Chains A and B, each alone.
Chain A
Amino acid sequence: MRYLPKSPAERQQMLAAIGANSIDELFSEIPERFRLREALSLPGPLSEPEIIAYFKDRAAENSVGYTSFVGAGVYNHVRSVVTDAILQRGEFLTSYTPYQAEIAQGTLQAIFEFQTLMCQLTGQEIANASMYDGSTATTEAVLMAERLTGRRHVLVARSVHPEYRLVLRTYAKNSGLQVEEIPYVAAVGTVDTAALKAAIKADVAAVVVQSPNYFGAIEPVAALAGEVQASGALLVVAVAEAVSLGLIRPPAEADIVAMEAQSLGLPPSYGGPFAGVIASREKFVRQMPGRLAGQTTDGNGRRGFVLTLATREQHIRREKATSNICTNQALCALAATVHMCLLGKEGLREIAHQNFSKAQFALAELEKIPGVKRAFSAPFFNEFTIELPRSVRIVNAHLVREKIIGPLAIGSDFPELSKRGLVCVTETAPRTEIERFVAALRRALEQPI
């Protein structure tokens, strides 16, 4: 077998050196009745070409050749080939967690750069080395707020991604956290600040909003912050579309930012692996979960980097740890770091501007179709909600026949928003495809019901 570097002769030599007659002797501690007599029933073994053929066959059963206008927390952006060229270097790909700093300075410096870029992007003072994704980063941010305030009540805007809210509820159930949802303003699409104000009581640990939110609308973070913080609660802002920070003011007033970095150099990959990040104030660092890379020096005064403040973590604090997280999303964070360095200051601004322009163009064209309306008045970045005169699903069935994946119906998560769908337009959508989408949607609406 090509992954096993031993010849039959070498195996014999090694058994002889151990003093065993057969490999079975080395498993004698397993009671006889549990030792498998037959080989497992598994597909394979496949050669390399066969493995590739298997996955190419699977790929052909997916959506190749379709143009998609779906965002909803996962965004299709241009990726440079340089990113994979670096990620595929064995010294990055196949290296371990950098606990032995002397032989992991590459990883550690890259993490330090990632943490810096995340701070610059979000307007926060510190950032960690990654969480699993945006949904768990948001959840861990809430648990962090709970530890910091000692309070057990959490207010979450309903305009936060439904999957993020479900993950939070799953974790909250067992830590005695009470999660209450705050409505959004119907015609606007952002959180109802009056309802929020009424709900903020002395027992609230955190208020969670997402910006841009699930509907694509930009939340009034700066306006919310004062209100929230005056009550002693912490403002947690989730960001699912990191590219938006190239054009939108960062949530610098937030106490904790929980970001999904997928937009920065990671492919959609059917939902993962991505890279969550928690960014926050320096004063909260000891309650921050996840790894942190810190700058230091060696005995000769040479600059180097180490994992630091490990007393927060599970391998030191065990049941008193800030989180149980061990393995994070390091390689994905590296991809984001490389991507951000490639884009640079001007590139990020330009890509954000392209997204914004294309989305504005798409909405203007869509609004020309009779019966199609913009659902919310709040400003947006690259994603918005439209209202159709008929079921989104029926319209989508027509669009799929034209190899277009159209607006994402949100009526099942938001029963009051039937006939509404999310449309996302990034820099990857050529004008001709946007126009084709609009024309196809117009034709779909002209079909008899």
Chain B
Amino acid sequence: MTERIKKASRHTNQSEGLIFEKSSPGKRAFELPPLDVPLADPAKALGALHRSAGVEGFPEVSEIEVIRHFTRLSTWNYAIDLGMYPLGSCTMKYNPRVNEFVARLDGIATEHPCQPQELSQGCLKILRQLEKCLLEITGMDAITLQPAAGAQGELTGLLLIRAYLEKKGNPRKKVLIPDSAHGTNPATAVIAGYEVENIKSESHGQIDVEKLREIVTEDVAALMITNPSTLGIFEERIAEIAGILHAKGALLYMDGANMNALAGVARPGDLGVDVMHLNLHKTFSTPHGGGGPGAGPVATKRSLEPFLPVPVLVERPDGKLALESQRKDSIGKVRAFAGNFGVLVRALAYILAYGPGIRQATEDAVLNANYIRKHLEGVYDLPYSLPSMHEVVFSDSIQKKNGVNTMDIAKRLIDYGFHPYTTAFPLIVPGALMIEPTESESKEECDLFIDAMRAIAEEAATNPQIVKTAPHTTRVGRLDEVTAARKPILRWKSASRTEAAD
């Protein structure tokens, strides 16, 4: 069986404890230049406020130990730089290195958000350029770059909808959310002060338009749609859906997580979308970094522009750019300052690299997903047969017959040298395998993935145990998550601290 595993093999890697376990008084990793003013006495000025001892438990290690520690830790991670992440709806594409370089430039990384605006024209031009590019890509009229992530973008979008409807006299009560939606959608609706009403997908996994017609009343503020859906399928009737909502004075919010299927090919603004967010750490290549930072710009139609969060970027009569904070209908602010600027810089660098050719990335993403789908159809169950765009969703129902589920298959995929696909989501597909290769994958990597998945399907049929007890080749095996939740240990404590606690 192991001859089938072509992409990866075992390799000795270093063990490493916690940094606190290497600490010993007197070791230093970093030195400061000497103080060139008189040393002030904090005890005098601060009295009881003075923290006279160092922070208890803070590590004391040398520079080489810091380098070794984190380098060793890094080798325990999978990463895009090593291979494909077939994670559906995550769009784990290549993070271009020039983006890292420009974000670190003197004059970019060094700028303070409160410095005079006439000394920040470079930053403001970057923001303006990115705004224009994202408006062109989405086909919308106005935009804010402030939200720090997709979820925050969703919140901003819903707050804009609320403000718009409130100005018309009634903010309304409900937000409609398809049962295939990402968890952030309902979580966000609640924070925005709305009730969530779930709408079941119809037999093809699309929004049930007839059902929608029934439930859209004047109590409904908006429908949150993901397009293509979390099944990777384009919502063909989206214009009709927008029409139903608009007829009742409701708005269409689009979760832009799946923009990687549309950029350069179709524009949400043309489809009837009123407000949407983008995930720059998905479609626009900014690095995931183990969980963030991201950015979630929100683009809207003209009618929502007065409500945008402050500050808003404006062009003055003298041609200079300025951040305007006095906007009477603004919803306020969702985070301090103008946004995750460093992330915005990276996204702009990405767009500049492609230019109008950004369509090619979208086409390659859809090509890769369909190529994989073609080679795994019949091997894995395909619950929804409509054409896939940039991602495809299978289920584990064939393998389940031998007691092998999507989680097991995912863990065995690790032995084959890949990160798992998205398991158990969307909720409408029991035992889902959600696969999105992105355009960053070569034919070779796609073929290796297909091969691995086919091999695992065979194993599920002939040797299910090897799949159910995977992974076999990692530093740690499956971890005890039950105990981790029941008796949480969320920090290191020194031995003496633990004794004292008892």
Q: Which of B105-113, B246-254, B453-461 contacts A (4 or more CB under 8 A)?
A: B105-113
Instruction: Let me know if B342 and A272 touch, CB within 8 A.
Output: yes
Contacts A40-B359, A111-B290 known; 13 new A-B pairs at CB < 8 A? A27-B389, A40-B264, A44-B357, A82-B30, A103-B414, A167-B333, A248-B50, A249-B50, A324-B154, A329-B292, A358-B37, A379-B45, A431-B36
Q: Please measure, in the bound complex, the distance between the C-alpha atom of A46 and the C-alpha atom of B358, giving whole angstroms.
A: 12
Q: Please measure, in the bound complex, the distance between the C-alpha atom of A93 and the C-alpha atom of B285, giving whole angstroms.
A: 12
Instruction: Let me know if B189 and A319 touch, CB within 8 A.
Output: yes
Interface residue A372 (Cβ < 8 Å from any Cβ of B): no
The one of B183, B236, B345, B411 that contacts A29, using a Cβ cutoff of 8 Å: B236
Interface residue B125 (Cβ < 8 Å from any Cβ of A): yes
Which chain B residues border A270 with CB–CB below 8 Å? 108, 111-113, 120, 123, 337-338, 341-342
Kindly provide the distance from the CB of B413 to the nearest chain A CB, expressed in whole angstroms.
9
Which chain B residues border A35 with CB–CB below 8 Å? 265-266
Instruction: Let me know if B492 and A116 touch, CB within 8 A.
Output: yes
Question: Please, how many residues of chain B have a CB less than 8 angstroms from a CB on the other chain?
Answer: 199
Which chain B residues border A86 with CB–CB below 8 Å? 66-67, 70-71, 74
The one of B63, B79, B149, B339 that contacts A326, using a Cβ cutoff of 8 Å: B149
Instruction: Let me know if A296 and B484 touch, CB within 8 A.
Output: yes
Q: Please measure, in the bound complex, the distance between the C-alpha atom of A63 and the C-alpha atom of B113, giving whole angstroms.
A: 11
Q: B-facing mask of A86-123, CB < 8 A → 1, else 0?
A: 11111111111110111111110111110111011100
Interface residue B59 (Cβ < 8 Å from any Cβ of A): yes
Instruction: Let me know if A350 and B32 touch, CB within 8 A.
Output: yes
Q: Please measure, in the bound complex, the distance between the C-alpha atom of A247 and the C-alpha atom of B54, giving whole angstroms.
A: 8
22 A-B pairs whose Cβ atoms sit less than 8 Å apart in the complex: A3-B353, A26-B370, A29-B386, A39-B264, A40-B358, A61-B121, A70-B112, A90-B81, A93-B289, A94-B79, A95-B290, A96-B288, A106-B74, A135-B335, A163-B337, A170-B332, A246-B55, A248-B50, A325-B149, A329-B291, A348-B54, A348-B58
Which chain A residues border B82 with CB–CB below 8 Å? 90-91
The one of B39, B101, B107, B196 that contacts A63, using a Cβ cutoff of 8 Å: B107
Interface residue A166 (Cβ < 8 Å from any Cβ of B): yes
Kindly provide the distance from the CB of A282 to the nearest chain B CB, expressed in whole angstroms.
8
Top 10 closest pairs, chain A to chain B, by CB:
A44-B355, A331-B289, A59-B107, A271-B337, A90-B81, A330-B291, A170-B332, A61-B122, A271-B113, A273-B293
Which chain A residues border B20 with CB–CB below 8 Å? 113, 116
Instruction: Let me know if A59 and B122 touch, CB within 8 A.
Output: yes
Interface residue B481 (Cβ < 8 Å from any Cβ of A): yes
The one of A11, A110, A125, A245 that contacts B51, using a Cβ cutoff of 8 Å: A245
Q: Which chain B residues (81-138) contact chain A, with CB distance < 8 Å?
A: 81-82, 85, 87, 90, 92-96, 98, 100-116, 119-123, 125-126, 129, 133, 136-137
Instruction: Let me know if B367 and A14 touch, CB within 8 A.
Output: yes
Instruction: Let me know if B159 and A309 touch, CB within 8 A.
Output: no
Interface residue A54 (Cβ < 8 Å from any Cβ of B): yes
Decide yes or no: A341 and B78 within 8 Å by CB, A129-B291, A308-B488, A319-B187 being known contacts.
Answer: no
- B345 closest partner in A (C-beta): A55
The one of A20, A119, A304, A311 that contacts B479, using a Cβ cutoff of 8 Å: A304
Instruction: Let me know if A353 and B39 touch, CB within 8 A.
Output: yes
Q: Which chain B residues (7-58) contact chain A, with CB distance < 8 Å?
A: 16, 18-20, 23, 25, 27-32, 35-40, 42, 45-51, 54-58
The one of A125, A291, A347, A431 that contacts B37, using a Cβ cutoff of 8 Å: A431
Instruction: Let me know if B355 and A45 touch, CB within 8 A.
Output: yes
Instruction: Let me know if B414 and A102 touch, CB within 8 A.
Output: yes
Kindly provide the distance from the CB of B447 to the nearest chain A CB, expressed in whole angstroms.
10
The one of B30, B58, B349 that contacts A55, using a Cβ cutoff of 8 Å: B349
Instruction: Let me know if A319 and B186 touch, CB within 8 A.
Output: yes
Instruction: Let me know if B187 and A323 touch, CB within 8 A.
Output: yes
Q: Please measure, in the bound complex, the distance between the C-alpha atom of A161 and the C-alpha atom of B339, giving whole angstroms.
A: 17
- A64 closest partner in B (C-beta): B107
Kindly provide the distance from the CB of B376 to the nearest chain A CB, expressed in whole angstroms.
12
Which chain A residues border B36 with CB–CB below 8 Å? 430-431
Q: Please measure, in the bound complex, the distance between the C-alpha atom of A204 and the C-alpha atom of B39, giving whole angstroms.
A: 43
Which chain B residues border A327 with CB–CB below 8 Å? 149-151, 279, 281, 288, 291-294
Interface residue A149 (Cβ < 8 Å from any Cβ of B): no
Which chain B residues border A50 with CB–CB below 8 Å? 352
Kindly provide the distance from the CB of A322 to the nearest chain B CB, expressed in whole angstroms.
9
Which chain B residues border A28 with CB–CB below 8 Å? 387
